[in-house]
A and B are shown apart, each in its own frame.
Chain A
């Protein structure tokens, strides 16, 4: 019986790992690409409805969230830079700031979502259409949505929801990285994990850069 330590797991190939991770990021991008394709198709077939529906989204909140997310990408890069230069404490602080900004994004998104839910922009959809008249969920004075608007809000919730899920995954990863930096297993000359965590965070950011104009700005 031989219990040799695995040579591959102790053998570091930063470039190979980076290549693998970029391929993974590519698959994430394609996951969203399918959503964007569906969005493009329905936008072209229900143009007026999409414009009308987009007007009900709050551009100010969207802009604030965009600024928050872009800033968090900046602090992420600075954190990696600090670690590369050996300023471990600064790197940890900046990582925590990134984490906090991600949380702030989620909280604002949460408020925005619940406001939409209260106005029944989401759940009235199928039931209302199936009944052929006003939705039973609508309060008096609220208007029935058209099919195109229903599609818009369906896509809005699913796409921003999937995006939010990625924010949560990224945030959890940051906490793990923070813990590992404290333990010393991520360090100045072994910063690959922080770099990949940062790449993932930038991807989340980039996807938002596309979501924001498509839902908030093109009204």
Chain B
């Protein structure tokens, strides 16, 4: 170990004007610093939203007749709206692309930075500005429309007045979502151009690592879908402040039209959330099995076809709105169809494990939990995609549990696992393996204890968004189990955050380039990476997951894996 810290992006700067302290981060166009800034902001918001969810579950612990009331019904309405707005717009939509995509996309393709570094910083500023605007809206009035902002309620619900001044908190939040959308679009454009123009010599499209593939597919979705919802949300704002009626039936508008426009974005958005995490799982599993990923091309193509088909099935959110039978059958069919590329991926990951030499690192545990949770999430999605069962399950806790199995148990577990995977490379610090594993156990058990009962509750008819329920044995016991699960889960989340913060402050320093012996390009450079990622120009000669060739390189000493033998 060196006595003086080596040159790395952590002590080099992109601008001669800002070389220390807060501004050296806030004004930096370095993609790695931007990724870390996103992480800090996103996980702060994530924790706030977790707390809101915790209180909501606490409220559901006992039935109405027991007189148990932590928060009144109106406040519960605000809580689930804010929980969703923060989790969706501020955490999981920027999600893995903003944090790990920013940090590792250029590293994986051997580039010095993204295509437009300054636009990248602008995206982050837009994110921050939108987030602050949303938080101000939440603090000064909030909203209880649900994150879908469905009219006419979202148009007619009253604005509040603070010290005699009218404040339209709903319009604030809608505008915030619009601004956040532009941050996402610019990130998407940036990544697409980066992948097209900045790949290292020899890196053909089918030599890119799978995380890059998934980010690439996600970026197209971001660019294709986000403008529509942006303008749709602004139309609600226009309708709130001006006397026009796009969606309010009392002024001649059509509220169903809003739902169509909203879900045209918001259904692809769930693939924006899940695809990057699938990419991370595709990195973690071959690394910790020490063998090539099974079906590389099929995973890459599956990412793109999920993005393509995912754009065409929005109306399965609207089976109960009285659309035509023909349209409903078509959307139901497409919903089942999108399960195919998803199942291909799950099959490929499982096949990769077969005969691999598996190491159960914390990242690997999260990746395996991803497969487990996401399979439950995906299969319950089939219940909701078929026309008859959807009528029964619509607007129940079943839907909420399905969504959380995919987005939390899937996307967020994947992201957390990805951060555990990349942590040593990002910071040159190592976390406590023991505590990371313990935190995983809490999260996995707590997560399933919380959401599995909700699947059953929904089946028995527990509606979503209700702040209480009648005193019935089947509800009482399952709600209690779910609440206890939330305690375990929150403990797990706090432990994960503590493990990270502790590792940053007191963790063991490491300069090991490739602690997990991974064959992909991002591990072959210094830890932590230098400002421009690679010392020399990179040239790619082998497939990204060719472990045979990789072990040869390690023996010959031409790869950074040599540090470990």
Which partner residue on chain A sits nearest B31 by CB separation?
A: A8
Rounded to whole angstroms, the CA-CA distance of A13 and B198 in the bound complex is 10
A-binding residues in B (CB < 8 A): 7, 11-16, 19, 29, 112-119, 185, 188-190, 192-193, 196-198, 223-224, 226-228, 230-232, 235, 238, 242-246, 250-254, 257, 261, 531-532
- Are B197 and A15 touching (Cβ within 8 A)? yes
Chain B residues near A23: list those with CB within 8 A.
Answer: 188-189, 192-193, 223
Among residues 113 to 160 in chain A, which have CB atoms less than 8 Å away from a CB atom of chain B? 122-123, 125-127, 129-130, 147-148, 150-151, 154-155, 157-158
Contact of A33 among B115, B185, B189, B228 (CB under 8 A): B228
- Are A41 and B117 touching (Cβ within 8 A)? no
Which partner residue on chain A sits nearest B114 by CB separation?
A: A8
Q: Does A27 contact B (CB under 8 A)?
A: yes
Interface flags for A1-37 (1: CB within 8 Å of B; 0: not) read 1111011110001011101100110111011111101
Q: Does A108 contact B (CB under 8 A)?
A: no
Interface flags for A30-67 (1: CB within 8 Å of B; 0: not) read 11111101100110011000000000000000000000
- Are B227 and A34 touching (Cβ within 8 A)? yes
Rounded to whole angstroms, the CA-CA distance of A127 and B245 in the bound complex is 11
Contact of B232 among A6, A26, A34 (CB under 8 A): A34
Beyond A9-B118, A37-B261, A41-B254, whether A16 also contacts B244 by CB under 8 A is: no
Rounded to whole angstroms, the CA-CA distance of A105 and B127 in the bound complex is 34
Rounded to whole angstroms, the CA-CA distance of A38 and B245 in the bound complex is 11
Given pairs A42-B252, A129-B251, 6 additional interface contacts (CB within 8 A)? A3-B13, A6-B15, A16-B115, A16-B196, A23-B223, A151-B253
- Are A129 and B250 touching (Cβ within 8 A)? yes
Rounded to whole angstroms, the CA-CA distance of A24 and B7 in the bound complex is 36
Chain A residues near B224: list those with CB within 8 A.
Answer: 30
Rounded to whole angstroms, the CA-CA distance of A41 and B532 in the bound complex is 51
What are 9 pairs between A and B in contact, CB < 8 Å? A20-B189, A20-B192, A23-B223, A30-B228, A33-B228, A37-B261, A129-B250, A147-B251, A151-B246
Rounded to whole angstroms, the CA-CA distance of A74 and B190 in the bound complex is 30
- Are A27 and B11 touching (Cβ within 8 A)? no
B-binding residues in A (CB < 8 A): 1-4, 6-9, 13, 15-17, 19-20, 23-24, 26-28, 30-35, 37-38, 41-42, 45-46, 122-123, 125-127, 129-130, 147-148, 150-151, 154-155, 157-158
Nearest CB of chain A from residue B352's CB, rounded to whole Å: 34
Chain A residues near B197: list those with CB within 8 A.
Answer: 13, 15-16, 19
Chain A residues near B116: list those with CB within 8 A.
Answer: 17, 20
Rounded to whole angstroms, the CA-CA distance of A29 and B236 in the bound complex is 20
Rounded to whole angstroms, the CA-CA distance of A67 and B197 in the bound complex is 39
Beyond A20-B190, A34-B231, A147-B252, whether A1 also contacts B223 by CB under 8 A is: no
- Are B192 and A154 touching (Cβ within 8 A)? no
Nearest CB of chain B from residue A165's CB, rounded to whole Å: 11
- Are B115 and A13 touching (Cβ within 8 A)? yes
Which partner residue on chain B sits nearest A49 by CB separation?
A: B252
Which partner residue on chain B sits nearest A32 by CB separation?
A: B231
Nearest CB of chain B from residue A88's CB, rounded to whole Å: 27
Chain A residues near B244: list those with CB within 8 A.
Answer: 125-126, 150-151, 154-155, 157-158
Which partner residue on chain A sits nearest B14 by CB separation?
A: A6
Rounded to whole angstroms, the CA-CA distance of A145 and B532 in the bound complex is 64
Which partner residue on chain B sits nearest A146 by CB separation?
A: B252
Contact of A26 among B15, B223, B250 (CB under 8 A): B223
Contact of A150 among B14, B113, B245 (CB under 8 A): B245
Beyond A129-B251, A150-B252, A158-B238, whether A19 also contacts B231 by CB under 8 A is: no
Chain A residues near B19: list those with CB within 8 A.
Answer: 1, 3
Which partner residue on chain B sits nearest A7 by CB separation?
A: B112
Chain A residues near B531: list those with CB within 8 A.
Answer: 2, 4
Rounded to whole angstroms, the CA-CA distance of A34 and B263 in the bound complex is 12
A-B pairs, 9 with minimum CB distance: A154-B244, A126-B243, A147-B252, A16-B197, A30-B227, A3-B16, A20-B193, A27-B227, A8-B113
Which partner residue on chain A sits nearest B12 by CB separation?
A: A2
Rounded to whole angstroms, the CA-CA distance of A123 and B242 in the bound complex is 8
**Most chain B CB neighbours (cut-off 10 Å) among A4, A8, A30:** A8
Chain B residues near A122: list those with CB within 8 A.
Answer: 243
